[in-house]
Structure 1
Amino acid sequence: MLLRFPVPLHLLLLRRHQHLLPNSVPSKRFNFSHPPQSLFKTVPVLRVGYPTSTFSEDESDVELGRLLSLLPEEMRRRVSEHPELHMLIEVVMDLGRKPLARFPSGDFVISEYPITVQDIQHATAQVGDFAVDNRAGISRTLHRISAIRNRKGTIIGLTCRVGRAISGTANLLQDLVQDGSSLLLIGPPGVGKTTIIREIARMLANDYKKRVMIVDTSNEIGGDGDIPHAGIGSARRMQVPNSDMQHKVLIEAVENHMPQVIVIDEIGTKLEAMAASTIAQRGIQLVATAHGITIENLIMNPSLEMLVGGIQ
């Protein structure tokens, strides 16, 4: 089974040594108005695909079963019979509408009957508490359950996204991360950025014996619950109470736990970008993601442009 990203995933490789880049990687060059010491000029753009081997097929089957257990029996059976079951992206349940299972090939109706209040209550009773960002998880899995609420705060819709640890996704970047260079992965939601940085964290911690600390705002990298998912290997994980505190936890991780590598998902605000820049300038390897389609999107974002040093 070969899974490919639906759109190109752009990697902004913040490199200290240009000669270490693969010859096949094309670059764009920009004029930096004030490049800080930790951020550099070359911006390679790569198309990345998933490898055929998964973290563990047996474990993945068990974890997928735990997500499907949120569904009523008939819906669960319909999903399980789909030929693309192991490529399931998410299940969408909206009150009064037919539930959908989303696959790379498109949406699949899993019941001819609209979702009821009882269906939603059945699902929410089996997951952890929803945080202020309306996200919850299933303990020691990578799945994410996101809620839609009405004006009174009642949950009327659920998006149940499948999370998978896939080994080998970071093999292409192995030579680029083992020497301590920082990485920023750029792409739209759902293309696999989190999957890759999870594998990078595991690779650096297990294979290269680095002290890796994951700052995990929504528990998407290390999974839900207090015991991290095995997919991060021996990397450590700090949970973030809410997204507004992410930049503070970044600095706390550096000051309190002496990491050699910091891994963080979804840098989105100026405070987070400033914290990330500060960490990189201290000589700590930073592996992070940000939303965007192209490097130009990052450049035009006033909150994030400092990640590439300021461009004229």
Structure 2
Amino acid sequence: MHADIPGIARVTRRVTLPPQPVFDVSTASEFDHLLRMLPGRVQVLVESRIREVEEIRMQAFGPVEVLYQHAHVIYPIELTLDDMKVLDSVGQWRADGRLGLEGTLHRFGRLDTMGHTSLVTVRVAKAFVGLAEPLREWLSVAQDGLVIMGLPGSGKTALLRDCIRILGERLAGRLFVNDSSNEILGDGFQPHPITDWVSRVPIGDPTLQFEKLNQTVKNFQPRWMVVDEVSSPGDARAIAYARSRGARAVMTWHAGSLRSAYQEKDERTLWPLIQRNEDGITGPPVASLGILVRGRGEYVIFENLEECFDEVAHDRLPPGVQVSVAQGSRWGHREQALTG
């Protein structure tokens, strides 16, 4: 018997794997571009270890916080308004306070206070190849949609990119990526080359996602659609509509468990995808396979979401396969892998 994961799953099988090769195929120019956008005093803090940086937080009259792969460092320097003004020239900020750098996967988030940039967070994104390889067993047979779920910052989008790579091997141009915040394939007109077998629908502004999803379904008849961050009931209805027209969905949900997705009653964002109402389940969900990201290399696979949500509806733990991938000391770069 396998031990349950409290509040998450009744473990039916446990898969433990040794460290798997994961390569960062991001180019040096992507990081150089990012460094040029930062205030000079922040550049010197991170440039020597930029490939290890996951997030940079800069606040006016506050310290600089940097989240590295294995450390959270607070640098005791105070940024001035002049430092923060450098960030105003990064690009055209969208209404949701976000922007990306064309040709990269990096993302900036901004808070404006009384007409001044007061807080900026930079997600330093890498193009990882190999993250999803331990899940190929399930991805290779996924025929009726896929949900990747997890809490914010758990690595859903990074995993999604590599899942797209694997799915693209058999779906190619029939797989359409609807990039709500342009985080999957990057901002700007030219997508990041990490997934070059798919069709991209840049959206940029999440408020336009419902309209763009409907346009994609009506005009291009996709076989599969990718949607990052299902964030409104409108998004969910558009995906459910696409499913009724024969398009399978690959999507990410902000949820730490199937139970939390099922029980969420404020916005009811995911209800059209779960197919439930006030009385309970009304039909099968719009995807058959679920992957819960619990942390780096820690996953729970829900092989039959219809069965799983039925268990949740009856207040029972859903059956799941626990996958644990041992982590090496650090990610490899493609150049290192090729040259030894």
| Structures share fold, TM-score greater than 0.5 | yes
- Between the two proteins, what is the percent identity of the paired residues? 25
Q: Say which of 53, 65, 88 aligns to 2:22.
A: 53
Q: Is the 8 A contact 2:179 2:200 kept in 1?
A: yes
- Note the C-alpha offset of 1:224: 1.0
SS at match of 2:37: coil
> Is 1:274 the equivalent of 2:274?
no
Give the aligned partner of residue 88 of structure 2: 124
Q: Counterpart of 1:65?
A: 32
Distance 2:122 2:146 in 1: 29
Spell out, residue by residue over 1:75-119, the C-alpha distance to the aligned partner (whole angstroms, 9 max, x if none): 32322345xx43311111100012121124332234x43111221
5 Å-filtered alignment, 1:23-34, equals: 26=11
Q: CA RMSD in A?
A: 3.0
**Once the 2 structures are TM-superposed, how far is the Cα of residue 55 of structure 1 from its aligned partner?**
4.2
> Contact conserved, 2:221 with 2:247, CA < 8 A, in 1?
no
Partner in structure 2 of residue 250 of structure 1: 213
Q: Deviations over 1:121-168 (max 9, x none)?
A: 22331x220000000111111000110111x33211110111111111
1:189 is matched with 152
Q: Deviations over 1:182-234 (max 9, x none)?
A: 11111111111111222222333345435111111111011011011011222
What's the secondary structure of 1:286's corresponding residue?
Answer: strand
- Length-normalised TM-score, structure 1: 0.77
Equivalent of residue 296 in structure 1, options 231, 249, 259: 259
Scaled by the length of structure 2, the TM-score of the pair is 0.71
Supply the distance in 2 between the matched residues of 1:105 and 1:199 (Cα, whole angstroms).
22
**Closer/same/farther in 2, CA of residues 49 and 106 from structure 1, 3 Å limit:** farther
Counterpart mapping for 1:55-204 below 5 A: 55-56=24-25, 59=27, 61-82=28-49, 85-110=50-75, 112-125=76-89, 127-150=90-113, 152-179=114-141, 180-204=143-167
Q: 1:257-292 CA deviation, whole Å, 9 max, x = no partner?
A: 122110010112222112212222333221000101
**Do 2:173 and 2:199's aligned partners in 1 also have CA atoms closer than 8 Å?**
no
Q: Tell me the distance in 2 between the aligned counterparts of 1:279 and 1:250.
A: 8
User: Which of the two has greater strand per residue?
Assistant: 2
The question of whether the paired residues in 1 share the 8 Å contact of 2:107 and 2:122 is answered with: yes
Q: Could you say if the C-alpha distance between residues 209 and 216 of structure 1 is closer, same or farther in structure 2, counting changes exceeding 3 Å?
A: closer
The answer to whether residue 268 in structure 2 is matched with residue 309 in structure 1 is no
Give 3-state SS (helix, strand or coil) of 1:200's partner.
helix
Partner AA of 1:63 in structure 2: E
User: How many residues end up aligned between the 2 structures?
Assistant: 269
- Provide structure 1 residue ranges, at least 5 long, that are not aligned to the other structure: 1-7, 13-24, 28-43
Q: Which runs of 5+ in 2 are unaligned?
A: 282-312, 314-340
Structure 1 residues 189 and 48, CA, compared in 2 at 3 Å: closer, same or farther? Answer: farther
Given that 1:11 and 1:184 are in contact with CA atoms closer than 8 Å, whether structure 2 keeps it comes out as no
Separation in structure 1 between the aligned mates of residue 93 and residue 187 of structure 2, nearest angstrom: 11
